[in-house]
A = this chain, B = another copy of it.
Amino acid sequence: MVEEKPNCKVILANNIAKRLLEEVHDGLKKIDRKPLLVGFLSSQDPAARVYAEWTGKTANENGFAFELRELDREVLEDALIDANNDDKVDGIIVYYPIFGNRQDQYLQQIVSIDKDVEGLSHQYIFNMYQNIRFLDDANTKKSILPCTPLAVIKILEYLQIYNSILPYGNRLHGRTITVINRSEVVGRPLAALLANDGACVYSVDINDVQTFTRGEGLRKRRHEVDEKPGWTIKDCLPISDVVISGVPGDTYKVPLEHMRAGAVCINFSSERNFTPEVKEKASIYVPAIGKVTIVVLLRNLLRMVQNKINAAEDAAQKAADEKAS
């Protein structure tokens, strides 16, 4: 039988970003002003500047106002507090690394929860790990998710790995996903998010393999983590439908020889973790996700502005009711 070219659908982040932008544009139409995002650049890392410029460009092109404030890192904390208190500022993004140590995590917690478009506030991170999806008891105000893990989720939704036949919150039930990298910034929160949505996740790093799952029948309300002693990536790849890799640097490559034919592959590293041969074996390959991450940031900003408007309307209504009674 004649062999044809391999069938792998390569999907560029740009196409996924476009669809998400349509949602954002629809939301913006219902607001009578341009939301203002303020970026704080105190990092010496050239990549941080590139990211800042890219945020500004995407924001401006899509109906948001963007202001970049370049500051000495020693005055950043006060500047953030000022921005927190400034009603004109809708969202705040800080470009890391700044001190490159735990002081950066301290600074992350300075940003007001109402303006933290990156979703790095402890309350958001706590809700994410605990699978608490709303900020209020009435379930009207959705919690914010950190941008890069959320970008991966949005990509998986676009790729229909999330099955909308299943109830919201369980739409990855039956999916087996390997996540390579367990950093606090992306890998671990991503593994938790996927498991909270019902997937069986193998979280792989240089030291070991862990499973994140809600158990058989998804009986648990949120994921639990189990060690897989003796397991390596070679055990995970043959049984995974989806392989998501984000190892920094240009030396790491996913060992494709162990991967299941027809797997869905997503790279969130700034380098390519998959060799070009991935197209010989995968059903879908997403080589980079950066453009989706920026749109997710704008989407978070929009949600915060909507929350603010809703809260103001509720307060006005309450005041009117009190006056009337």
Contact = CB atoms under 8 A, between A and B. Distances in A.
B241 A174 contact: yes
Q: State how many copies of this chain the complex holds.
A: 2
Interface stretch (A20-28, A98-106, A161-169): A161-169
Interface residues of A, number: 48
B218 A284 contact: no
Nearest to A169: B7
A263 interface: yes
Interface stretch (A33-41, A52-60, A121-129, A219-227): A219-227
**Interface residues of chain A: helix, strand, loop or mixed (majority):** loop
Contact of A7 (B3, B170, B222): B170
Nearest to A279: B217
Nearest to A173: B283
A42 to B, nearest CB: 41
B283 A220 contact: no
B8 A217 contact: yes
Interface in A163-203: 163-167, 170, 173-176, 198, 200
Nearest to A5: B219
Contact of A6 (B159, B160, B165, B216): B216
Q: Give the top 10 A-B pairs by smallest Cβ distance, nearest first.
A: A6-B217, A174-B262, A173-B283, A174-B283, A7-B218, A216-B261, A3-B219, A173-B262, A160-B163, A4-B219
